[in-house]
Chain A
Amino acid sequence: MFVPFLYELRDRGVKVGAQEALSLAQSLGLGLHRGTLDGFYEVARALCVHREQDLDAFDRAFAHHFRGVPDDALALTDELLEWLEQPAAKRRLTELERQLLERIDLAEARERLRARLAEQRERHDRGNRWVGTAGTSPHGSGGIHLTGIKVGEAPGGRGALEVAAERRFRDLRSDVTLDTRQIEVALRRLRAFVREGALDELDVEATIDKTARNGGELEIAMRPPRRSNLRVLLLLDVGGSMDPHAHVCERLFSAASRATHFRELRTYYFHNCVYGRVYESAALIRGVPVLQLLQDCDPSWRLIVVGDALMSPWELQSSGSRWSFGDDSGAPGIAWLAHLAQHFLHSAWLNPEPAVAWYGTAEVIRRVFPMYRLTQDGLLEAVQHLMRGGGRL
């Protein structure tokens, strides 16, 4: 019965496999779920979810999957009917509601609830349907979400379906939020250590080895310390269509500049497309010729371009941008981009727009640069790509 649920989880991107299925079967065999749906929710969550980013997907899968199952729905309905029969709870209903309630016999109410259960698939907030038809709202007003029924006074009170439907872990999903810390964590993977420089670290292993070979007379061995050898070139698209994304770009920039594991980080700005120059400030002043930049940065630098890659096709083909007519760079924009991509062994383009919006000029640029979304997942993929050998497309 839970195997289809595991496939539902897989469909939603929670990586579960045979191992999770076996552990789940084992714990159910041991009765860890205490024979309840709530218990099953907790046990399944502990065993199937491995990172908090997946908690939301799990909740959605759970709410979706177990709402449709008649048996469980019936169990809930029974709980509800039990509650209906408690006169103490009824006192909160209005006179009209009580009359309505008396007119409905239990069998009919049960039938209706079942129909409603099958019908209702998503969380239902602040509706009044329930009050009007069956008079089953525990609060008398404000609407009721079917799984939100606080039936009886069970300790803990909240049903698994209610918890699942609440989707409290939405903020932890990895494909939507990206704060500075997450960026830092992702960027931390971007590193390569080498030993070079002055011999100022005691090499204990070698010292012992040499001393032993020397018949016990102490012989010190020194070595250079491990240092990061990774240099990063960050090019940021600013202005125009990038304005809505300024915030996330700012975070990326601050995370990158705070990262201590880069040997060197250089940041330049451009507008829409790179032509002959990139700029040291976001106001696009203090230009640096691209050719000079390429002389300074050897191909081992990692190039990260951030931009939405959206512009008029004309901008890719022309040799100067709209806003600086006097400044002809001698080659079309797309050629400059291709030149950059060719120069560096590893490069990636981060796009803050969702992948569905990658059409038009973005499609063209995708053929030049490997393009990733500017989300936690996308950034990690990009970083992995930058660390692999021969990152060219």
Chain B
Amino acid sequence: MEFRRFRGTDKYLTSSALESAVNCALALERPLLVRGEPGTGKTLLAEAIASALGLRLIHWPVKSTTRAQDGLYVYDTVQRLYDSRFGDGDVKDIRRYIKHGPLGQAFASRDRVVLLIDEVDKADLEFPNDLLHELDRMRFVVTETGDEVIARERPVVVITSNAEKELPDAFLRRCVFHFIEFPEQDLMARIVRVHHPDLDQKLLDQTLRAFYSLRDVDGLRKRPSTSELIDWIAVLRRAGIASVELDAGMPFLGALLKREQDLLAFAEATSRGRRPRA
């Protein structure tokens, strides 16, 4: 069987393990479940797959109130009721009031698409289980009309999760799993280069050093991640700062640490670190 292999894109650097996981998912036509710390590029992965394979991306952001049914279709009864009262349009045709959700659109699409089910753990604990059948069979029936929506081309399904909740076993069993590790310094340097190609090497080294020592500070509730590092460097460059010294106080710390307790923990750690040297 032939399939197009994924090798990352210019804008999205991958590891070999991640490529293997993506290719497994593509070859076996299984959903790919991506987990990892916030800010390690889980959502961007779906965009990268879509652009690498030249497919359209359908994004389904999951919220705490999202139900599995919303992903398939919504029957807009209120609109139909309204129309029946005021006589706009053909009320007899129920199909006019059936609106496909992201999953429905992905199935109904003529071409293969990438479907991103983003932050699946945000929804109710039962949400993933409710999707099992549809994701397995890639089809569903609209009960109001009896129509069956069948995927002509099985979409590439990418599911992200923040590891906030344990997902049900039955759901996990059907997915190809990948845990995005926090990048090591070398990879991080390459990632930063992608976003800031003309960054001064000295500043890059300094910021990376500062960043990784910041991540090592004990007692941080939210350790800064890749996206925060990239933002921070952008801020530094806008402000025209050419060098960063950890000891001399970190400029624009707010771009990296977003919680008050974390700022306190950092202040405590740096003051502790400085005392023996003084």
Contacts and interface: CB of A to CB of B under 8 A. Distances in A.
Interface of A: 15, 17, 19-20, 23, 26-27, 30, 32-33, 38-39, 42-43, 45-47, 49-52, 55, 156, 168-169, 172, 181, 185, 188-189, 204, 208, 211-212, 216, 380
A175 to B, nearest CB: 14
Given A23-B28, A27-B24, A32-B20, A47 B176 contact: yes
Interface residues of B, number: 34
B81 A43 contact: no
Contacts, number: 79
A167 B231 CA distance: 31
Interface in B13-60: 16-17, 20-21, 23-25, 27-28, 30, 33, 35
B78 A204 contact: yes
A30 B1 contact: yes
B137 interface: no
A55 B37 CA distance: 15
Nearest to A160: B17
A169 B179 CA distance: 10
Nearest to B165: A185
Contact of B177 (A27, A50, A168, A189): A50
29 contacts: A15-B169, A17-B173, A20-B173, A32-B23, A33-B20, A38-B16, A42-B20, A45-B21, A45-B177, A46-B17, A46-B20, A46-B25, A46-B176, A46-B177, A47-B24, A49-B179, A50-B169, A50-B172, A50-B173, A50-B177, A51-B35, A51-B172, A52-B35, A55-B179, A172-B179, A185-B164, A208-B81, A212-B81, A216-B81
Contacts of A45: 17, 21, 177
Interface string B252-273: 0000000000000000000000
B144 interface: no
A185 B166 contact: yes
B77 interface: yes
Given A156-B16, A208-B78, A30 B27 contact: yes
Contacts of B23: 32
Interface of B: 1, 16-17, 20-21, 23-25, 27-28, 30, 33, 35, 77-78, 81, 84-85, 125, 163-167, 169, 172-179, 181
Contacts of A46: 17, 20-21, 24-25, 176-178
Given A19-B174, A51-B166, A204-B78, 4 more contacts: A30-B27, A47-B177, A181-B164, A380-B166
Nearest to A34: B20
A30 B28 CA distance: 9
A19 B167 CA distance: 18
Given A23-B30, A50-B172, A50-B175, A42 B17 contact: yes
Given A43-B20, A188-B165, A208-B78, A26 B28 contact: yes
Contact of B28 (A27, A168, A181, A212): A27
